Amino acid sequence: MSATKRTASARSPTNLTSRVSVFNSQVTLFEAADDPDDTPRRSKRAKKEVKREDSILEDVEDLEYTPSASTPTPRKRKAAVKSEPKQKKAASKSSPAKRAATSESPKKAKPIPQVLSTPHPEPPNWRETYNTIKEMRARFIAPVDTMGCQRAQLEETEPRNKRYSTLVALQLSSSTKDEVMHAAVIKLRKALGGSITIEGMIAADEEVIHEAIKTVGYHNKKHGYLKNAAIMLRDKFDSDVPDTVDKLCALPGVGPKMAFLTLQVAWNITDGIGVDVHVHRITNLLGWHKPPTKSPEQTRLNLQSWLPKELYADINHMMVGFGQVICVPASPRCDECALSKKRLCPSARVVDGKNRKAIVYLETKESPPEVEIALEEAEEETYMPKS
């Protein structure tokens, strides 16, 4: 038999008939026999796809029908599968107090690093740059001056509440403008009965807290952080704000920036620099980091390795206000910046400020000349009335 015949016969199904061609005796022709079902032959690939679909359908059907009494019913298994996400969803909606009571104790937080193994060198002309920014900051009022985290404690009378309201304001401040954060603190204080206290935060309903702070960034997480942090402060820190950065960072929603600023404002302790997005961004624009830092924590460690410690307490407030008014992120006011005029900023650019909103500077009052006052006093002393 020829190769053609062998291949044909090997592939020929049972419903084909063969006959020799009348034109050529070496050629065999195949014809389809009458099929009562009249169904076309399916390819192996089609059979596999159908088998796969059937298996999927069988899996679905197994969830609906009971195979035997000895094994769990598929219907029950389906109910268990469906109820699992509901249980997770219900757990996520449970109050922070219940989650804190049922969850395991958190792992001990790693100590916050304070020094670099290799200190970063001092950038050139940093002192002149720093003093120039400080002089500019003295000439205008920024949002951080009137609505920053340090303002939250002014409405409280008890020292513990002053410290706690400062911490709460900083917890709300991340990814939020000072104006929005300040308004949320006022609304939260009103919702808690006129004072921001640890006891009031624990007793308040979670929805009440959420409603008060819903304008701040990440409010869906922060209201839980506030609740859980208050519970931890009560249980582990005698209902007061701790006075070390490591203990503060163990609280939910508290990072190094918040911890260092809390120590500075609440306890008058300066252990490090509170580096936020403004300090991180502006110091990189000034070229103070070689290579540029990629995170606020890298920026903090670099700055702490060369900046004098007596400036730790001032740099955050100074840079934040400078970044809110002059060195704004979207379109910096290089036309109003003294660093640009003195060529101290490598990132300065030419800016047309004609159509920009004018910056309101504080008026400086000149004191009267001392010489004139001295002359007037001398004349009064030598004056003698006639008899």
CA nearest neighbour of 253 among 188, 167, 164, 183: 167
Q: Output the DSSP codes for 96-123.
A: HHHHHHHSPPPPPPPPPP---SSPPPPP
Q: Is 44 a catalytic residue?
A: no
Q: DSSP characters for 236-301? A: HSTTS--SSHHHHHTSTT--HHHHHHHHHHHS---SS----HHHHHHHHHTT-SSSPPSSHHHHHH
Q: Which of 190, 257, 342, 354 is catalytic?
A: 257
In angstroms, rounded to a whole number, what is the distance separating the alpha carbons of residues 113 and 218?
27
Classify residue 337 by burial, with Cβ atoms within 10 Å: 0-12, 13-18, 19+: buried
Residue 14's identity, in one-letter code, is T
Cα(332)–Cα(324) distance, rounded to whole angstroms?
A: 10
**Burial, 185: exposed, middle or buried (Cβ in 10 Å; 0-12, 13-18, 19+)?**
buried
CB 66 within 8 A of CB 74: yes
355-360 LR contacts (CB < 8 Å, sep 24+): 356/331, 359/140, 359/325, 359/326, 359/333, 360/140, 360/141
Active site residues: 257
